Structure 1
Amino acid sequence: MSIFKKDPLQIIAFQGYGTDTHFYARGRALEDESINLESQKIWHLAINTWKRFETDEIINVGINIKLPNNTIIKGVTDNKGYYKVEENLKNLEALTNEEGWLSFELSYNNVNIKRTIQNENRFPGEILIPSSKANFGVASDIDDTILHTGVVSTLKWRVIYNSIFKNAKSRLPLKGAADFYHQLHRGASGENANPIFYVSHSPWNLYRYLELFLKQNQFPKGPILLRSLSNFLKKKPEGEKPQKQKEILNLLKTYPELPFILIGDSGEHDPDIYMEIAEEFPDRILAIYLRSVKHKKRMLRVRGLVENYKTTMVLLVESSEQAIEHARENGFIAS
């Protein structure tokens, strides 16, 4: 018997999305490192950051997904512990709640696995199937769009500092952002349940951190779409689309009848990514909102792009109030 106690196993389900006929779920199987997301002690914050990135993955193992109607879907984790499960089914919308969320249960398919907390081989998950009442979807960046991160700071030192030395509950959202997103979610009728998708270049290791931040600051619930740490660290091959762009293009493909509003910031690549998407889908992008950042050179470049852009509405916003006013004038939210 080993003198070292092994950590229990867990399955982390990333909130995903699907349709009435297509189930699509992602997540990761890991040892449970007991990360305390709420502690504000410097030592705990540093240890928790280490745990988020020094993960012990459960690789090449089978998992089961049990739907509310007792349908079982099978999947397998890859060599990084991630799973991606897709299945064509019928009448999934009938299994959702009024907001469109379909809850399910995950488990390791090996019945002999006992290294789970209290030997409970059951883990919750859910995906969003947008309501038929939805008039549009929203794809929003996170960094410096709704969360102060310092992505334009020299060498991105503020991003590093904030991720290590601040817990999710102490991070501040940009003023008025949550209210704006709730109004977009409710839509013009006040009851549209327009889906909100949060898309970021951050690695999946920060998923629960960002999930807690959104919940703590009362943003509308929505899938959080990130990327693997290996892709985060390696240089992107020439000509390959950024992961954020791929995710938004997949949303447009998944919901061909649903137009979208894109929200980002003017600090890095959002203007270029969003405008390229609008060129490819000119009738599907209702508007692009870009939050201004405090970086003179980058703002000059973005203003030059926006001034001559005619494909869809692009608004550089200094505040959430300005975005709300524009959305109200254009019938996206209730007047």
Structure 2
Amino acid sequence: MPLLRTPPVIFPFFGHRSVTRLRIAGRALRNRPPRWDHDSRLAKMRALASHFASREYAGLPIQLEIRAPSGESSLHAGFTDDEGYLDFDLPLENWAMPRQTEWETICFTWNDGEGAQSAEGYVLAPGEDSDLAVISDIDDTIIETGITGGFRSVLRNWQRILAQMPAERVQVPGSDRFYGALSGGLLPAAAGKHLPATRHPFFYVSSSPWNLFAYLTTFIQSRGLPLGPLELRDWGLNRETFGSASHGRHKVLAMQRLLDFYPDLRFALIGDDTQGDLVAFAQIVLARPDRIAAIFIRQAGEAHSPEEEQAKADIGRAGVPLWLGSEYDMGRQFLDRIGLAHDHEAERIVETVSETGSGSGSGQTE
């Protein structure tokens, strides 16, 4: 079939919902589903390049079917935008939340010119028994990029970026055990559910492009890390995409949206010191200190800048527990001491922070 006549396919992203709102997005592309089983370096590079050279389908009519906890279904119509994106942000009429966190299913339908097509998507619903959620960065927080040392590091580690499949990428050591402890444990899948959920819902915020959604979720799932909705970016060849300030701005806005979406949850924030996470997290803490249960920063970069030192001071004055360390195994010890590794009583973090002391890798409140 000629390239320009390749039929469109909807690739859903992970969504999430509350009692009153449901949000899910996706993209219509003239691309085949991704494959991660290539052997040769050239095939791997072609596979990754194909995700950035996406062929979008604009103006495609879409229908979204959602099903209430009562079993009643409803249809919602929309169109893809100029870059093929679709985004549904729907009001709900007091939908009950599940007792425990779980993934619910939705369905996109469209006509690709050859007939009716459908694609199943997943929506995370935090459980009633969860009083804590987690927002995590991705690059150099759970997946090593090798580019924290400047341009020379990029040259040394180009294969990680351009020629490695998810199974070949280097996971940050100890992140699976640390995240497993913070997640509250894996819950048994409910009947008919296809994705595993953790007691504490996880969300990932990254400056990576939406083109890498399938790549990143494959990495997360294959390494035993908690699955969760991703907040990524639409990259363009402009200052808004590549300017250093844009990384922090994107993360702050994404975190603010999640805090607004779930006003009854407190959040733990996890990041690293290579892309301004400390400064971004401090902005959230200064605006809403009562909503942040703890902050965890993996130290992977160089000495902290004056702006980062100020951010640490701001977090400390707000009374939010702050862990700084290079090894997640030490972070696990911090979780144990503040009582967060084995239960979901987030209030105990603040009550016991004075007992954690200070120092790199063990917990710090400045």
CA RMSD of aligned residues (A): 2.9
Displacement after TM superposition at 1:226 (Å) = 0.4
SS at match of 1:242: helix
Displacement after TM superposition at 1:301 (Å) = 6.9
Displacement after TM superposition at 1:303 (Å) = 5.5
Contact 2:21/2:92 (<8 A) preserved: yes
Partner of 2:103: 101
Contact 1:23/1:86 (<8 A) preserved: yes
Residue from 71, 83, 90 that aligns with 1:87? 90
Contact 1:202/1:232 (<8 A) preserved: no
Contact 2:60/2:79 (<8 A) preserved: yes
Q: In the alignment, is residue 203 of structure 1 matched against residue 209 of structure 2?
A: yes
Residue from 165, 168, 188 that aligns with 1:167? 165
Partner of 2:331: 323
Displacement after TM superposition at 1:127 (Å) = 1.1
Partner of 2:231: 225
Alignment coverage as a number of residue pairs: 325
**How high is the TM-score relative to the length of structure 1?**
0.87
List aligned pairs for 1:1-335, cutoff 5 A. 6-68=5-67, 69-93=72-96, 98-108=100-110, 110=111, 113-114=113-114, 121-155=117-151, 157=154, 160-186=158-184, 193-230=199-236, 234=240, 242-293=249-300, 295-298=301-304, 302=308, 305-306=311-312, 309-311=316-318, 312-334=320-342
Distance 1:138 1:235 in 2: 25
Gaps of 5+ in 2: 189-196, 344-366
* CA distance 1:80–1:323, shift in 2 (3 Å): same
Displacement after TM superposition at 1:10 (Å) = 1.1
Which amino acid in the other structure matches residue 226 of structure 2?
A: P
More RCO (CA 8 Å, sep 6+): 1
Distance 1:22 1:231 in 2: 33
SS at match of 1:205: helix
Identity of aligned residues (%): 25
**How high is the TM-score relative to the length of structure 2?**
0.80
SS at match of 1:162: helix
Distance 1:137 1:237 in 2: 29
Distance 2:3 2:150 in 1: 43
Cα displacement string for residues 125-150 of structure 1 (whole angstroms, at most 9, x for unaligned residues): 01112111112110000000011012
Displacement after TM superposition at 1:53 (Å) = 0.8
Gaps of 5+ in 1: none
Which amino acid in the other structure matches residue 117 of structure 2?
A: N
* CA distance 1:231–1:13, shift in 2 (3 Å): farther
Distance 1:184 1:212 in 2: 21
Displacement after TM superposition at 1:102 (Å) = 1.5
Which amino acid in the other structure matches residue 206 of structure 1?
A: L
Which amino acid in the other structure matches residue 314 of structure 1?
A: L
SS at match of 2:104: strand
Which amino acid in the other structure matches residue 315 of structure 1?
A: W
Displacement after TM superposition at 1:21 (Å) = 2.0
Displacement after TM superposition at 1:34 (Å) = 4.5
